[in-house]
Structure 1
């Protein structure tokens, strides 16, 4: 069953586009923090310790790796603090990749810090390194808390390895990942009580207190206060639920002042529905219709991770949101033809984009990849777009051909044969990781410049 399409309308509360130079400036600022802590280390005699050689040089290396680890840990917190300007500048999938890289790098620098400081102190005290580690843990202020924080971070790192993530449900992984905040918090007393590099100069003290304050403030402001305020202001509730196909359900939501909600087509929210036990576990669902100030729509596929509950929602059920997130929006549109490639449930944000992108009549092509005819949804809406705005809709059905983004029947085609003007198009991709990677390769092979390919990956 599908719903009758309504003419798309543009949201009233669209956020302003982020200037391109802002992302460059943010990258420079992040790099500058690492240079700043290195300069603080130099100012506190780090180079002299290294040139002295022996145990002092080892300890100096431990000090520096500890500073870098702490700095990257705080950058990691800021990357996923859901700061709206940062989210719109980079997009959450890119931020998630950087967050993961910063997390793993920070962890291994922390391990190097522990090993080098222990070996360095053991050399100075003429003591066995294991005995020295025991002595540091039990006699230095804040070290027991630091050990507990390290254990929390180890758990986060282990569950962030790709093989481990595949074995965990999204909800379980998300809950375990919150222990990173606990690890960062438990490390702070050790750094303030025994970390000479934090306390030896007014500059160092001001830098670290400021950085910790910014990270904590961003988390409180954008992960707690802002979502709470938006939920209080907009008061979203389920209007009605519509089955769209096998295991596919659309939820329509109404609320107050939705025209003031700063969301664009193509974005997603973290959703919680107050329908009973398990409501606290958030799920990321994209808007599947262009927001127009009166109602929102999401479409959810039953993937066995709690998403089946969506089909049982009743009118009036309260919904809590965090967001909006994502950069797969019309902000990136610079004119000309549009090509949208969606696979499975990945078609939903592209469907909402069709209503907001200001392409000319006949200037858009949607390629809808699905395993079978039964999995194709929104036919009547797609027919409306084809009839009213001249959208060319192409269905590519059937099992996937190996590592290709195409089904077996069309495996010999290239993208330029399917969409002749794709090289001049703004291309929007959404689907599972492996499929999206293959589709990006097809775009490159068809001559699409990299800055015209816009993606939203379904990964965590």
Structure 2
């Protein structure tokens, strides 16, 4: 029921300004003018709720998954953009003449005060640019920290401009009850940023971690282990992830999300599998033991704890092995009686990590670019491979956990559903969309 309750709460919050505007009882205008105001109101309320959706609130993401929360954040942002883009074009014929003192409810005209309109125009232009920069982040290839800073500052600026425009240019936003509501919603939005960037770091300052070791697993993959410094550690379940900040202040934005590869049953030390992909990850090998680190977590719902299926199918692509390795280790340390099968795909044999450990379970390695002497599976993780590894009964009755490239997860998920696996037995978390 939790996802349903969250959706209901979201819809109530987003439509509350529209409902209150309707309850003001203003004389109705032409349909296209009321539609213009309604779209503007909805666009602004959705934008303010975006702050909460991206605020790392475990109460929101725990039941549905952080990836679902962030995907919802992306989709609703596009809806808000569409509403905002349509909003000004529907005010046909409403700009004629100067302000009319006999028209206090703006039934005939909207404001001609340029200062009130200018903030809306500027927010309109910024919102479109903001959206393009967000969806083009990968193509533009700027640093994650740069994008995150731009995203945060840009969102605050757009919200401030829209708040001014809504109150001073809006037909309904200028009413006292609406002013109180808009300032309350804006305060909650900014409060979510304060929580993430100030209150959480203040708490984390007293929960330092220390780098225990940095081990090279493959030519491009490393294992970084941290231990708690003066506290009990992190209460997490196998398969979850955390934001890792190494060598910086607790208030630094130089933190990155990584899946936890260790098992809770192994003790307070936490390890991460990290692949060299960007500015930070390419320097992992330079980190020295005893370096201060901070963790923000745990997040994610990629867990098989408490499930009753007779077996667990683990399907990993590349560094996607990390959370599945945590699940595998936890099951072995707790003598979990469920059967386990693992499919682990890579490009070449040199990319296989923790092979000695994985060889102790029922594992199928698959390489897309194998050497001539490779004796295992070749190609990609696809339906024929799944048929060779899992029986009909296993596909219908087991729980499947996968992590890896989006295209791999799409293929596997579609095929499992086609073969009869219920969707609630397919667990995955995605952080790359479009």
With structure 2 as the length reference, what TM-score do the two structures score? 0.84
Q: Which residue in the other structure is 2:103 paired with? A: none
- TM-superposed CA distance for 1:189, in Å, is 2.3
Alpha-carbon distance in structure 2 between the residues aligned to 1:75 and 1:283: 23
Unaligned runs of 5+ in 2: 100-109, 371-376
- TM-superposed CA distance for 1:173, in Å, is 3.3
Matched, 1:36 2:16: yes
Alpha-carbon distance in structure 1 between the residues aligned to 2:304 and 2:344: 19
Alpha-carbon distance in structure 2 between the residues aligned to 1:419 and 1:159: 43
Alpha-carbon distance in structure 1 between the residues aligned to 2:381 and 2:21: 59
What is the SS of the residue equivalent to 1:369? strand
Unaligned runs of 5+ in 1: 1-20, 127-135, 401-405
Q: C-alpha deviations, 1:248-305, integer Å up to 9, x for none?
A: 11111112355452332222222232279xx743322111111444211111111144
Alpha-carbon distance in structure 2 between the residues aligned to 1:422 and 1:317: 45
Q: Which residue in the other structure is 1:217 paired with? A: 191
CA contact (8 A) 1:258 1:294 kept: no
Using CA pairs under 8 Å that are at least 6 residues apart, name the structure with larger relative contact order, 1 or 2.
1
Select the structure that is richer in helix: 1
Q: C-alpha deviations, 1:152-179, integer Å up to 9, x for none?
A: 3222201233x55333245143333222
Alpha-carbon distance in structure 2 between the residues aligned to 1:175 and 1:410: 37
Alpha-carbon distance in structure 2 between the residues aligned to 1:296 and 1:209: 42
Pair 458,33 (structure 1): closer, same or farther in 2 beyond 3 Å: closer
Matched, 1:72 2:46: yes
What is the SS of the residue equivalent to 2:239? coil
- TM-superposed CA distance for 1:451, in Å, is 0.8
CA contact (8 A) 1:346 1:430 kept: yes
What is the SS of the residue equivalent to 1:297? strand
- TM-superposed CA distance for 1:323, in Å, is 2.9
Alpha-carbon distance in structure 1 between the residues aligned to 2:400 and 2:293: 32
Q: Which residue in the other structure is 1:408 paired with? A: 379
Alpha-carbon distance in structure 2 between the residues aligned to 1:79 and 1:95: 6
Q: Which residue in the other structure is 2:36 paired with? A: 62
Matches within 5 A, 1:157-168: 157-161=131-135, 165-168=138-141
Question: Which of 18, 38, 49 lines up with 2:28 in the alignment?
Answer: 49
Please identify, of 214-223 and 366-375, the stretch whose mean Cα deviation from structure 2 is larger.
214-223
Residue correspondences, number: 409
What is the SS of the residue equivalent to 1:198? coil
Matched, 1:85 2:56: no
CA RMSD between the two structures? 3.0
Q: C-alpha deviations, 1:347-389, integer Å up to 9, x for none?
A: 0111011233567436111111111211100123324xx3xxx
CA contact (8 A) 1:61 1:116 kept: yes
Q: C-alpha deviations, 1:10-45, integer Å up to 9, x for none?
A: xxxxxxxxxxx2221110111223443332232234
